[in-house]
A = this chain, B = another copy of it.
Amino acid sequence: MSNKPTLPKGTRDFGPQQMAKRTYILDTIRTVFQKFGFQPLETPSLENLSVLTGKYGDEGDQLLFKILDNGDFLAKTTHADYEQGVSALLPKIAGKGLRYDLTVPFARYVVMNQHEITFPFKRYQVQPVWRADRPQKGRYREFYQCDADVVGTDSLLCEAEIIRILEEVFGKFGIEKYTINVNHRQILNGLVEAIGAQGKESDLLVAIDKLDKIGKEKVITELQERGFADEAIQKLVPIFDLKGNNSENLSTAQEIVRDSETGQRGITELREVLALAKSLGSDLNHVQFDLTLARGLSYYTGTIFEVKAQEATISSSISGGGRYDNLTGVFGLSGVSGVGISFGVDRIYDVMEDMGLFPEESQIGTQVLLINFDKELQSQVVPVLSQLRERGIRAEMYPEAVKLKKQFSYADKKNIPHALVIGSNELASGEFSLKNLKTGEQHSLPLEAVIERLTSSN
Contacts and interface: CB of A to CB of B under 8 A. Distances in A.
Interface centre among A67, A158, A160 (most CB of B within 10 A): A67
A120 B280 contact: no
Contacts of A4: 111-112, 331-332
Contact of A399 (B65, B67, B71, B158): B158
A364 to B, nearest CB: 5
A314 interface: no
A394 B37 CA distance: 6
Interface in A394-452: 394-400, 409-410, 413-414
Contacts of A458: none
A174 to B, nearest CB: 18
A133 to B, nearest CB: 10
Contacts of A5: 48, 50-51, 108, 111-112, 331
25 contacts: A1-B332, A2-B332, A5-B112, A6-B50, A6-B112, A8-B95, A8-B96, A13-B43, A14-B40, A14-B42, A16-B39, A19-B39, A20-B39, A20-B40, A34-B366, A65-B67, A66-B68, A118-B413, A120-B398, A120-B399, A120-B410, A155-B400, A276-B379, A280-B385, A281-B383
Interface residues of A, number: 112
Interface stretch (A79-87, A180-188, A243-251): A79-87
A383 B382 CA distance: 53
A299 interface: no
Nearest to A7: B44
B46 A130 contact: yes
B70 A67 contact: no
A193 interface: no
A3 B15 CA distance: 43
A260 B93 CA distance: 55
Given A8-B96, A280-B386, A40 B19 contact: yes
A37 B19 CA distance: 15
A192 interface: no
Contacts of A71: 62
A409 to B, nearest CB: 8
Nearest to A368: B37
Nearest to A123: B16
Interface string A65-107: 1111011111000010010011001100111101000000000
B2 A364 contact: no
A313 interface: no
Interface string A1-37: 1111111100111111001101100000000001111
Contacts of A275: 379
Interface string A266-296: 0000000001100111000000000000000
A40 B332 contact: no
Contact of A85 (B47, B67, B74): B74
A187 to B, nearest CB: 22
A70 B74 contact: no
A120 B397 CA distance: 11
B40 A279 contact: no
